[in-house]
Amino acid sequence: MGNLTAGFSRPESPNLRDFCVKVKTTQNGRCEEQKSKLHSLLAPKEFREQGCRMVNYIVDYLENADKLRVFPTVEPGYLASLIPKEAPKETEPWSKIMEDVERVIMPGITHWQNPRFHAYFPSGSSCPSMCADLLTNGFGCIGFTWASCPVYTELEIAMMDWLAKLLHLPEYFLSGGDGGGVIQGSCSEATLVSLCGARNRAISRYQKEHPGATVYEAASKLVGYYSDQAHCSVERAGLISMLRLRSIRTTVSRQLEASDLEASIKEDASNGFVPFFCVAALGTTGCCAFDNLKEIGPICEKYDIWLHVDAAYAGSVFICPEFRPMLDGIEYAMSFVFNPHKWLLTNFDCSCVWFKKAEWIVKSFCVNPTYLRYKDEGRMPDLRVRRFGSNNSAFPFSTGKFLSDANSAH
């Protein structure tokens, strides 16, 4: 768009506000001009036509996904010879783009929706989820605060409460009290956010017990725990936060043994460290092992350790009553995460996490610059301080149908 301040000289007077308003007005005018040009690329009539064709293309693909080879036959670097080395100077008709989808994109697709795809984990997908994505993309909103789009915040809070009740999570995870849920992009983000909340809680406690201790001194004393079967995102969260996390070897059961956890806690405490965080898995990604919360939970409570429950892989099964015994002990959890984008028919990315006391997360991430403040601030939670970035707003829009269907099935 070029230099937006071209043609303007700095004001002689100190009234910078008027200058900025003048620049902003011109910027808005040029933005409208750009928007007009963008609309000309795909006019409303053509958008209707191409949108219908795209839906038909997707339906045809899904109906025939089982006939496709799961893993493509291409070699690494295949794409470079199929596309120009420079971005095109002129736009291309949508029909040409769809030709490129067949010629360039499809040969490199790993078909996760093929029933013979058994790698990694299930990838949720459904027509309601795709339609919700289309709807929210059409709105073009970003829900980082209540004021930025009220319905995004309020609907997310309501749907997270619905989902918590459907999973039979403790009431303290519901909104309206000290706790609440929020959508993250991935379990990795949820684990990192929970770890940072636990860190700040432990640092606050350490500084009360050791007046004069700095934040950095307190952080250097902290140590957390996870099993060698936990998702690699736990180790990565430790690397990002520069906190000491210990991997505990599992036995043939692939479970985190409570006795091994307590032994590690006692050893570290005797060496001057402060145990503060533990990750228990309900369905590990590698072998779907379930840690015993009824045994691990009381130990975490005894030593005042934040228990984070990672149910990313298999958490959806707790909608079914017959699997809920594996959730016994959840009342000891300070945070709980699972991924609807695996077994709950929701397209990636969508990871749901709940906190027993959201204040520790808010204290970890709360910054409040002037440009994010608004008149009714504080009357509704601002979910931006409970996560990184904005939410997958399509999930709340499509969740109601999923949850009502699941509820009626049981």
Weakest mean pLDDT among 40-49, 280-289, 329-338 = 40-49
C-alpha distances (whole Å) from 42 to each of 31, 36, 47 are 17, 10, 6
Task: Give the chain's domains with CATH numbers.
Answer: 15-119 (1.20.1340.10), 138-409 (3.40.640.10)
- 344: three-class secondary structure by DSSP: coil
Q: How many residues does the chain have?
A: 410
- Let me know: does 183 contact 351? Beta carbons within 8 Å: yes
Strand ranges for 131-234 from DSSP E: 180-184, 222-227
Q: Tens digits of per-residue pLDDT, 157-185?
A: 888 898 999 999 999 999 888 888 888 87
- Bin 168: left if φ > 0, else alpha if -120 < ψ < 50, else beta: left
Better-predicted residue by pLDDT, 132 or 310: 310
The pLDDT confidence band at residue 349, using thresholds 50, 70 and 90, is confident
Asked if the model's pLDDT at residue 10 lies above 60, the reply is no
Q: Tens digits of per-residue pLDDT, 87-132?
A: 888 888 888 888 899 999 999 989 988 888 888 777 777 778 888 8
Q: Residue 292 has which token pair?
A: 């015993």
Q: Tens digits of per-residue pLDDT, 149-158?
A: 788 888 888 8
Check residue 262 and give its pLDDT. 92
Check residue 350 and give its pLDDT. 80
Comparing CA positions, the residue from 157, 185, 101 lying closest to residue 383 is: 157
Comparing CA positions, the residue from 392, 387, 380, 336 lying closest to residue 365 is: 387
The CA-based angle 250-256-261, given to 5 degrees, is 105
Check residue 223 and give its pLDDT. 95
